[in-house]
Structure 1
Amino acid sequence: MTSFPFPDDLVDIKRRQLSTYHRLTQPAPDTARLRRELIRLIRLIDSHPYWQGGWSTAGRMELHHAATAARATNREPDARAVSGVRLR
C-alpha cells in the first residue's frame, strides 16, 4: 500500500471542503455563498502544487481519509496562504 505524505495546508483545504459540503446538506439561508465557497475550495485543491506531477484516484482517496481524520480530531486549520489565496 502506498502512503501519500500530504502538506498540512492541502489537508486543511480538503477538511474545509468536507465541512462546507456537510453544511450544504443542512437547510440554510446562505446556500449560494456555501456553493461558491465549495467551488473555491475544490479549485484550490485541484491547483495545489502537490498535484503538479499528476494525481491518482488512490491519492485523492488518501487525502479524503487524511482530512476526515483531521476533522475527527477537531484540528483547526492554520491560517497559511495557499497558492497566494489566504484561507478564511
Structure 2
Amino acid sequence: MFGPNDDILKQKIVAILDEYIMSQKQAAEMLNMDTTNVTRLVKDKRINPLYVFNKESPRTICLFYRKDVESYHEVLNAYRKLRKKFKHD
C-alpha cells in the first residue's frame, strides 16, 4: 500500500487520525477507569465505538471518536460530583 519512502505520508495520516480518534486505553485514561470498564460501557451502549478490531474474539480492541469520549467524560464528571455531594450531605 505504501512505499518505503512514504513515511511523511504515514505520519500525516496518523496525526490526522490522532486528532479525531482515541484508542481504548486513551479513553480509559481520560475517563479515569480501567480498560475492562470501557468495554462494559460499550456493552451498555453508553459509548459507541467507531471501529472494533477482532469482533469475533473475546478480546476486542475498540477505537472511539474523540468527541464522543469527551462528551461522555463531561457526563461522567457530573455524576461523580453529584455522588460526592450526596455523600457529604
With structure 1 as the length reference, what TM-score do the two structures score?
A: 0.34
User: Based on CA coordinates, which of the two structures has the bigger radius of gyration?
Assistant: 2
Tell me which protein shows more strand as a share of its residues: 2
**More contact order relative to length (CA 8 Å, sep ≥ 6):** 1
TM-score (norm 2): 0.34
